[in-house]
Structure 1
Amino acid sequence: MATVSYWADDVTEAARWYADLLGTEPYFVRPEQGPPAYVEFRIGDYQAELGIINRAYAPPGASTEPGGSVLYWQVDDLQATLDKLLAMGAKPWEPVTPRGDTGFVTASVLDPFGNVLGLMVNPHYLEILGRS
C-alpha cells in the first residue's frame, strides 16, 4: 500500500479530525488558498500517504455507503486505538476479532465522514519492519 484516499463532504473538518487522530498536520493541501479539495498526510513506519478528497470529485455512481475493501492499518495497541477513535466520534463497524491463533487481530470503525478505517495487530508486518 502506498496511498489510500478517503472521501469527505467537508475536507477541512476531515483534515482537522485526522490531524487530531494522527498527531500531525497534512503536508500537502490543494488548493493552497480557500477551502481544500484535497489534503494528504504521510503516516506510519513507511510514510504511507493518507489522502482526503472532497466527495464532489468521486467517480459518477460511486457509493456513498461504507463497504467494499477494508484497508487495515497496523497499530501497536489495538484496544487503545479503538477506544481513542470511538471517543473521537467514530462508530463501531467490526468488533475486535482474533484471526486464528497466530496473533493477527482486527477491528474497524466508520470515521465521522463515512469511511471504513481498519485497525490490525499484524505479526507479519512487525516481522518485516524488524528486518528493515
Structure 2
Amino acid sequence: MSTLKGMTTMVLTAEDVDKAAEWYSDLLGIAPYFRQPEEGPAAYVEFRIGADEDELGIMNRAYAPEGTTAGSSSITYWYVDDVEAALAKLLAHGATTHMPVTPRGPEFVTASVIDPFGNVLGLMYSPHWSGQH
C-alpha cells in the first residue's frame, strides 16, 4: 500500500492573494471555485484544473508554517501536452524561467518557472500520465 496516494491540493503562497488569483485566473482561463473569506481581501482561493480537477490553492503567506519563504525546494509538476508552448505562455504572463525545457529520457520533458509571487511551478510531458487520460 502506497503512503502517497495522489495529489490532493498544491498550495502556493502570495502576499496579495487577490492579485495572485487574478494572475492565475487570466493564465488558466477560469475563476477560483472557492474563496475565503467571501468578502474583503482573500486569505485563500482554490482552482480546479484539468480532467481530474486537481486543486491549486493560493494562501496568504502570513498563514504559511513558520520558516516558509516564497518558493520551495519541492516542485509539483503539472502535466502539459507541449512543455515549450506551456513555458512560453507562462513567460508571456510574467513568470520567469526557473529551469529551461529539459529532456529527461525517452519522451519525458520538464521545465519550471517562478510565478510573479515567488512560487515554483513545474511543467512535464510524460507518456505515462497522458496515456491514462
Q: TM-score range by the shorter chain?
A: over 0.9
The alignment status of 1:3 with 2:9, answered yes or no, reads yes
SS in 2 for 1:4: strand
Q: Which residue of 1 aligns with 2:66?
A: 60
Percent of paired sites with the same residue: 61
Q: Which residue of 2 aligns with 1:116?
A: 120
SS in 2 for 1:85: helix
- Cα distance between partner residues in 2 of 1:2 and 1:55: 20
Moved over 4 A (4+): none
The alignment status of 1:79 with 2:84, answered yes or no, reads yes
Residue 26 of structure 1, aligned match among 29, 32, 44:
32
Residue 107 of structure 1: CA displacement? Answer: 0.1
Question: Over aligned residues, Cα RMSD in angstroms?
Answer: 0.9
Cα offsets for 1:108-129 (capped at 9, x unmatched): 0000000000001110001122
Cα offsets for 1:76-125 (capped at 9, x unmatched): 1211111111111101000100001x200000000000000000111000
Unpaired runs of 5+ in structure 2? 1-6
| Structure 2 residue identity aligned to 1:28 | F
Paired residue total: 127
| Structure 2 residue identity aligned to 1:23 | G
What is the TM-score with the length of structure 1 in the denominator? 0.93
Q: Which residue of 2 aligns with 1:104?
A: 108
What is the TM-score with the length of structure 2 in the denominator? 0.92
Q: Which residue of 1 aligns with 2:4?
A: none
- Cα distance between partner residues in 2 of 1:115 and 1:126: 25
Q: Which residue of 2 aligns with 1:69?
A: 74
Residue 63 of structure 1: CA displacement? Answer: 2.7
- Cα distance between partner residues in 2 of 1:92 and 1:78: 13
- Cα distance between partner residues in 1 of 2:67 and 2:57: 20
